[in-house]
Structure 1
Amino acid sequence: MAAARSGAAARAGYAWRHLYVYAYLALVDVVMGYHRDHGVADAVSWASLADLGRNLAIDRRMHREGWPVMQGWLTLHARGAIYELGRLQYHRGGTAIDLHIPESGPMTPEAVTASLDEARAFFPRHFPDERYADFACGSWLLDPQLREYLPEDSNIVRFQQRFELEPYEEPQWLDADVEVMRFVFRTLTAPLDQLPRRTTLQRAIVDHLKAGRHWQIRRGHLPI
């Protein structure tokens, strides 16, 4: 009986953690209506909203370590703030359009350029009352320390070269080392010695941390 109660409690816990999924799904029709009011094609809407499935798959891979961040992130989609245009996602509503890099394949220069060009046409067309001068990105992917490990022609370094970095300020709400672990290895707790070293990036992350060094989240701007 005690084991049954324990199992039921665990299942209830999983359901509670993922309550945001039900809220998200309940708002899909509302978000689609908002998109249509702004002339956004259904293909863009569905590509943007499909980020729910991508994040749930990541949550499973992370053994449910990632859900607190994911539920906050997905509220942006439900508010009509996130649009996936090709390789990148775009977050409107601030002084600049923020770029995000979903887990959806190689970040080749050609794919990034095509996405940026699409975004340059998309936002004036569908949100003409909003004015933006820059794209912005805040990410560990913009950390210049990566150039110590990655070749100049790597996709990450070529992505970095598009941006003018702001002076570094340590964020108060994010630990860059944790974020790197989250995005590169999809874990928050695995010991460094147990992490895979299959790619140049994976080896760079582990060797950097083993040396007692730390990664940085950097913010940069790219003119629209």
Structure 2
Amino acid sequence: MNLKQLCEGIKLDPDARQILYDYQMDEPQYQACKKQFYANRYAFFEKVKQTAGYRQLFLYLYARFAADVHEEYRLRGIDDEIYFDTFSDIQIWCLTCKRDYGEYGIEEYHWLQEHIQLRLFRLGRLQFQPSALERTLEVDGRTVFKNQIVLNVHIPSGESLESRSVEESFERARSFFRGITPVFTCHSWLLYPGLSEVLPQGSNILQFQKEFIIYETDCESNQAEQRIFNQPRSDRSQYEEHTTLQRSAKAYLLAGNKLGNGSGIKMNPIG
């Protein structure tokens, strides 16, 4: 896999592609960066952040790392559809960087390292990340024990959450992760119960909530405001109102309510 093939497969923005094609780094430098990434990613992050134009450097390195791991996908028998879907997050976060910082690059470098290390895969609409449960949960008379491997669900931006595409993703995950008991967890603003007062009852987000048993909420998280308005503000009257969701959420917040996070779990029915 080369950079051009990767860029075409993930549909990277043309201006971002040009940054990759023009970036000057010799092979020994690249291999040194790659070695440090796998040896000590936190030291790697700090070193890159000391570089002028570090967001473009993260974009370049992550694109090359992604191209390199294609061989590991092939050895594991994972098809190119999953490969390109998974690394399409580079395009998503590159556009987010352009929106938030006025330049193409990567700021979400902590997040994208999960993809490079084959700890997260996109299967259709949703992303799945195997991880050990941090604590024992008792939900609906069933117990999921601490350290059991579960599948964390993440929802990449850019597409609607239609019920059919969501269910297809869960089905694909059950097949893809055959050695893992299909217990799904999700920690997201999309699971915050207060959204039922903001969104119409038929909304895809509320339908998505019904996939999970919500066992915990965090009213102090500002993830919802980050996702809905792009940049949280202390003065909520300054929030934009370009979409129906923005208008409804702004009115809800100005009325003294909060939008937080919800944590949910999805298990196969018994029997």
Return closer, same or farther for 1:144/1:13 CA change in 2, 3 Å cut-off.
Answer: same
1:112 is aligned to 166
2:217 is aligned to 168
Question: Once the 2 structures are TM-superposed, how far is the Cα of residue 22 of structure 1 from its aligned partner?
Answer: 2.6
Equivalent residue in structure 1 for 2:187, among 127, 130, 138: 138
2:131 is aligned to 93
Equivalent residue in structure 2 for 1:71, among 105, 109, 124: 109
Instruction: Determine if contact 2:55/2:107 at 8 Å carries over to the other structure.
Output: no
1:220 is aligned to 264
Return closer, same or farther for 1:212/1:223 CA change in 2, 3 Å cut-off.
Answer: same
| Structure-to-structure mapping, 1:1-224, within 5 angstroms | 15-63=53-101, 70-94=108-132, 95-124=149-178, 128=179, 131-168=180-217, 176-177=221-222, 179-189=223-233, 192-224=236-268
* Distance in 2 of aligned mates of 1:168 and 1:106: 23
* Distance in 1 of aligned mates of 2:107 and 2:101: 14
The superposition leaves residues 73-120 of structure 1 with CA deviations (integer Å, 9 ceiling, x where unpaired) of 101111111211111111123321111111121111111111111111
TM-score if structure 1 supplies the norm length?
A: 0.79
TM-score if structure 2 supplies the norm length?
A: 0.67
Instruction: Determine if contact 2:126/2:153 at 8 Å carries over to the other structure.
Output: yes
Q: Secondary structure at the match of 1:176?
A: coil
* Distance in 1 of aligned mates of 2:267 and 2:207: 16
Which structure ranks higher in relative contact order (CA pairs < 8 Å, sequence separation ≥ 6)? 1
The Cα RMSD (Å) is 2.5
Question: Once the 2 structures are TM-superposed, how far is the Cα of residue 13 of structure 1 from its aligned partner?
Answer: 6.5
Question: Once the 2 structures are TM-superposed, how far is the Cα of residue 181 of structure 1 from its aligned partner?
Answer: 2.5
Question: Once the 2 structures are TM-superposed, how far is the Cα of residue 134 of structure 1 from its aligned partner?
Answer: 0.6
Instruction: Determine if contact 1:58/1:186 at 8 Å carries over to the other structure.
Output: no
Question: Once the 2 structures are TM-superposed, how far is the Cα of residue 140 of structure 1 from its aligned partner?
Answer: 0.8
Q: Secondary structure at the match of 1:62?
A: helix
Instruction: Determine if contact 2:93/2:108 at 8 Å carries over to the other structure.
Output: yes
Instruction: Determine if contact 2:97/2:106 at 8 Å carries over to the other structure.
Output: no
Return closer, same or farther for 1:121/1:16 CA change in 2, 3 Å cut-off.
Answer: same
The superposition leaves residues 107-157 of structure 1 with CA deviations (integer Å, 9 ceiling, x where unpaired) of 111111111111111121xxx4xx233111100110001111222211111
Structure 1 stretches of 5 or more lacking a match? 1-11
The answer to which of 186-195 and 107-116 deviates more is 186-195
Instruction: Determine if contact 1:149/1:200 at 8 Å carries over to the other structure.
Output: no
The answer to which of 56-65 and 143-152 deviates more is 56-65
Return closer, same or farther for 1:195/1:167 CA change in 2, 3 Å cut-off.
Answer: closer
Instruction: Determine if contact 2:94/2:106 at 8 Å carries over to the other structure.
Output: no
Question: Once the 2 structures are TM-superposed, how far is the Cα of residue 68 of structure 1 from its aligned partner?
Answer: 8.3
Return closer, same or farther for 1:188/1:82 CA change in 2, 3 Å cut-off.
Answer: same
**Percent of aligned positions with the same letter in both sequences?**
28
Structure 2 stretches of 5 or more lacking a match? 1-49, 133-148
Instruction: Determine if contact 1:87/1:104 at 8 Å carries over to the other structure.
Output: no
Instruction: Determine if contact 2:121/2:129 at 8 Å carries over to the other structure.
Output: yes
